Amino acid sequence: MQRSIDECGSITAFVVMLAMTFVACAGLAVDGGRLVAAKVQLADEAENTARAGTQEITGLRTGDPKVDVDKAILAAQDFMTLHQIHGQVSATESEVTVTTTRVVPMSLLKLFGVGSRLISAQRSSRPVTSP
């Protein structure tokens, strides 16, 4: 059986492309999973921070609970500082809203030119009174 001269090395190119495809798929799985996990953690941090701020309420005894805006923002910022959370806090008399952000570096996908990704999560909390 004779080989054609044009076919020399064609299997090498196929194996290289196949290996690159496998690395790209692994990168999507690993780095994609890291992004999802970071997003879930950010949402949890934002929710807990908003709850910490919402605990600063006034008017419970009168039956008209309202968020003390200044104290709520301060409490939420203190919570963020204590737990090393990066984000922003805003508050009204009816709710506290927290937006958290984080940069997630890519590990395998950076081999294909995909850089770090900025992700964020926003959660709000409102005081609730029982009927």
Which tens digit of pLDDT belongs to each residue from 28-57? 888 889 999 999 999 999 999 999 999 888
97 occurs within a structural domain: yes
Place of tokens 């395998």: 108
Q: Give a yes or no: residue 1 inside a domain.
A: no
Backbone phi, psi, residue 16, to 5°: -65, -45
Does 59 map to a domain?
A: yes
Tell me what pLDDT residue 6 has: 62
The pTM score is: 0.76
Quote the DSSP letter at residue 89: E
Q: How confident is the model at residue 86 (pLDDT cuts 50, 70, 90)?
A: very high
Helices H / strands E in the chain, number of each: 2, 5
**In degrees, to the nearest 5, what angle opens at C-alpha 79 toward C-alphas 78 and 80?**
90
CA nearest 76: which of 103, 104, 47?
Answer: 47
What is the domain extent for residue 76? Answer: 7-125
- Whether 102 maps to a domain, the answer reads yes
Q: How many domains does the chain have?
A: 1
Assigned domain for 2 exists: no
